Structure 1
Amino acid sequence: MSSQQIQYSTPVTGSASGHDPDWLPGFYTHILSQSITANIRKVVSIVGADPSLLLTATRLLSAQKKAARKREMLAAEGVQVPAVVMLSLTHQCNLACHGCYMRSLHPVMEPEMSSDEIRNLISQCVDLGVSFLVLAGGEPLVRKDDILMLAREFPLMTFAIYTNGLLIDDTLATKIGKYKNIVPILSIEGDREATDSRRADGVYEAAIRSFSLLRQNGNFFGCSVTVSSKNFTEVTSDRFVEDMISCGCRLITYVEYVPIGEGTSDLVLSQDQHNSLNNILSRFSDQYPVLVIGFPGDEEAFGGCLSAGRGFVHISPSGDLEPCPAAPISDVNVTKIPLREALKSDLLAKIRVNHHMLSESGGGCALWANRVWAQSLLVPGPGNPE
């Protein structure tokens, strides 16, 4: 998950027995929690000269430690709470990017959760010990009022917003600047040509303008890069990292391309590129004053794929609890039952028990590569009746 990996000498091996990885109780969750803590400490070091951000970062570090303890206590009660919840706030988007997973995987758009339902969901996340909310879409800033409301009401929760940045103007940047627990992460594909060819003409310049506005308002922000065989050399260059830092980015996430769209398999990283990526990102993190995170990253450090609640879950705009954004299958809906009960989903439990099948694979997503198998696990449940 992260270039800031915690190294352990204990071998990660296991079997398919038990409810989740009973082969080594709490081992991978402990590693994950320490990896998250290490990343927050890196943030503290990055923002050390900025009093407002430093105060927020140290508060979030304390909150993370408390959240980790909550997760450990609930795990002992048989409730697997993920450190990260990915919430797609909306299907709506102002772009039609090539290879977009939302458009490819969700051709039928169900009614979206209301503001009250989202507020209630986040309150439950806080109570259960979730450390981070990753807000996506569609374009999450379509629901900017909801995001600002959440940041105000849950000041010790970090809201990482994956956005194309087109809706960030002076007014919104000022409002976002009031809430240091909002971390805008703007999507960019490398240089102007690479970004505009995948997204739309003018998107690269719009992102650069948004970086400037966020910087003026004192935000901690970053960029997200979908790494493909086509842009690999560009986005893993020192020049690219230095350019992003010069724009004010203090976080860069690298997401390996998943060939969800038809006819895009040529964009998957070659084996050599895939093998070298984690080492490159680790060097960047050591060399530059920026937090660098890779997805899926070196999942072997955590005993395999972190989906299905081992490390994260995904919640669709309509409230379906899914193992991963690349696996839109669900047997429970968080608008119908409490999140604590939803996390006991039979589907998620079966995937966790069999996570040894989800080794890293071509395309950066083992669950997507094994989607037929995952679909076969789906049985009728409270949120998915016959």
Structure 2
Amino acid sequence: MVLEIFSKYFKQIEALNLKFYSIPYDIIKQKTILERIALYDFSFETVILMVIALMALIFHFGRNQNLKITNMIMNPFNDAMHLEFGNIGFNYRMKKIPYITEYQNTLVTGFYTGRKNVESVELKVHLSSRFNPLGLIMEKLMKGVFSGLLEDNLEEFVEITIKPNNYAATSKSSDGSNELFPTQDRKTLPKKYQFVSGIVSKHSMTSSRKKYYYLNTIPMIETPRLPKEYVFMTENNTLSNGIFYKNHQENEKLNDLLDNCKWFLKSFTITDLPDDQPILDTDFDKASSRIHIVTKLVKDQKDVDHLIQLVQYALSIYDDFTNGEFDKIFMNPNLLKKIESLRTHEKNKVLKIMKEVELEMKKRNLEVKKEEKK
């Protein structure tokens, strides 16, 4: 059916210059270039050129739109982080660049370091390929048909990862030498950084659980302290109330921030567990304490300002950690026991999966050997 339709259209295209091709070669040869052009029907070629020009315009417009969104977020963010960090952006070919773009301006990364209590802040803006509308439509159709199989690459969002300086100035490496900022694991990470506690928007709670492993390990706790659009997702209520609401006091600054960010904030989590489900025990043991903020794509300058204020609030949390503000929370032996129990339970799940995979591989190897003997 499809081939018949294409065949029909190709015949119509050929018919456009049937008169030209029917002229004998000897006559055509005697005509000048301009006379030959006058005889030829360029309708099809004109349409093709117009389509190519339109595609070029769409590509240029789409890339410019992504660049416009990038500058709307990154420029004020960089200006604000200049007041917080010593180093902004990246060094590339002896030049300082404020951010890097990848995949045709669909992934933008900013990086900030050089602060007393915070090792680094990484800002990532994930944009859709506006320069390829046909591809977006096809991807959306495929996602609708194979929703359980294909990853959603159409979602636009911002994620911010804030890592604390939770090391001593120097640490002994395995060979006994001093090493600055060694590779961190669960043994070297201080206990007060080994927990999961966050504030999650109700409208994105299910999708956040599916996407981020660390949220899938903890329960939801509703509380009147938070604005009605949010819930706590935490290992223990002592953590969330103690850190976000110091000593169970009211925190008007945080509530105002959350209220201002309710249109775009998806989750604000302090965690030591990985984003993705670990498949090896070594992956689980690579503990990395961080604040992970995930938002929808901010639409205007007002939202960007509120996002900057949220990041500045997150930086103040790690200042409080370093200053010992929350040390009393982690003196509670029952709390530490519950946190350790969760880590043991999750690691045992990983070990169980590893054992099942190992048994399955042994079973397949035996089957292969049996087939070879036959």
Instruction: State the TM-score, normalized to the length of structure 1.
Output: 0.24
Greater relative contact order structure (CA < 8 Å, 6+ sep): 1
Bigger radius of gyration among the two: 2
Q: Indicate the structure with greater helix content.
A: 2
Q: Indicate the structure with greater strand content.
A: 2
